[in-house]
């Protein structure tokens, strides 16, 4: 009988120890990395005529917003396949540099004049070109008072473009997203702010893409238009 009691006590001790071990193991597991915040929701630009339009492809137009344009070719590079990829995919591909971030260091990039946004860049075929500039809203553009106006950036890149504003590409799956590719030689019209005030600053990064990509065309990447529109 004494042997039976000792066996029962030993079993109870083991059962009590198990939760302690599990608790200790759980406590040592590092917390999961926080999920990346979702991109900003896209906004549709107005369809009414603008109260004021500035051509950013002119020296005067870009200077009005303190914009110094810079550019750099992006290249396709090898990358690791994503987790859960089918085993036959040993290699994946990405682009470099990734220059959409507002804090991206473009200090070593070539500066270009506003008129040179129309220059034909790349060697053709499958090609990608970054363009970056910072736009600062002045108190007035000519006789137009900018305070409280809705600001819309409109760019038309031959052939496609993606537009980053302050380090984000506003988008939502299944919904119109003007900052993403709009179609073959179609403009991107991206709302920068519903109500600007003098001194507001916008970091702009535009990813120009030659296309259609599956055709690998023998043309280049260039701007047909770039303008800042204000609406009341």
Tens of pLDDT along the chain (232 residues) come to 444 444 444 444 444 444 443 344 444 555 665 777 889 999 999 999 999 999 999 999 999 999 999 999 999 999 999 999 999 999 999 999 999 999 999 999 999 999 999 999 999 999 999 999 999 999 999 999 999 999 999 999 999 999 999 999 999 999 999 999 999 999 999 999 999 999 999 999 999 999 999 999 999 999 999 999 999 9
Residue listed under structure tokens 């290249």: 75
**Separation of alpha carbons 171 and 166, rounded Å:** 14
DSSP label at residue 133: E
Task: Note the pLDDT of residue 76.
Answer: 97
**Separation of alpha carbons 140 and 98, rounded Å:** 34
| Total-model pTM | 0.85
Say if CB 39 and CB 168 are below 8 A apart: yes
Task: Note the pLDDT of residue 28.
Answer: 58
Phi/psi-derived region of residue 137, left when phi > 0, alpha when psi is between -120 and 50, beta in every other case? beta
Say if CB 225 and CB 156 are below 8 A apart: yes
């Amino acid at each position: 009988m004494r042997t039976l009691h000792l066996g029962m006590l030993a079993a109870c001790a083991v059962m009590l120890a198990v939760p302690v071990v599990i608790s200790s193991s759980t406590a040592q597991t590092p917390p999961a990395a926080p999920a990346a915040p979702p991109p900003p929701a896209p906004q549709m630009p107005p369809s009414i005529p603008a109260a004021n339009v500035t051509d950013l492809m002119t020296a005067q137009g870009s200077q009005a917003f303190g914009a110094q344009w810079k550019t750099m070719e992006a290249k396709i590079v090898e990358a690791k396949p994503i987790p859960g990829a089918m085993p036959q995919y040993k290699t994946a591909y990405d682009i470099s540099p990734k220059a959409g971030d507002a804090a991206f260091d473009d200090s070593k990039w070539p500066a270009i004049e506003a008129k040179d946004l129309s220059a034909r860049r790349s060697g053709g075929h499958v090609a990608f070109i970054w363009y970056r500039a910072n736009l600062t809203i002045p108190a007035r553009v000519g006789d137009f008072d900018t305070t409280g106006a809705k600001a819309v950036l409109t760019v038309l890149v031959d052939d496609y473009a993606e537009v980053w504003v302050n380090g984000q590409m506003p988008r939502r799956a299944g919904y119109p997203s003007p900052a993403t590719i709009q179609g073959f030689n179609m403009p991107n019209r991206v709302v920068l702010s519903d109500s600007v005030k003098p001194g507001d600053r916008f970091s702009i990064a535009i990813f120009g893409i030659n296309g259609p990509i599956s055709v690998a065309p023998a043309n280049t990447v260039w701007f047909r238009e770039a303008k800042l529109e204000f609406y009341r």
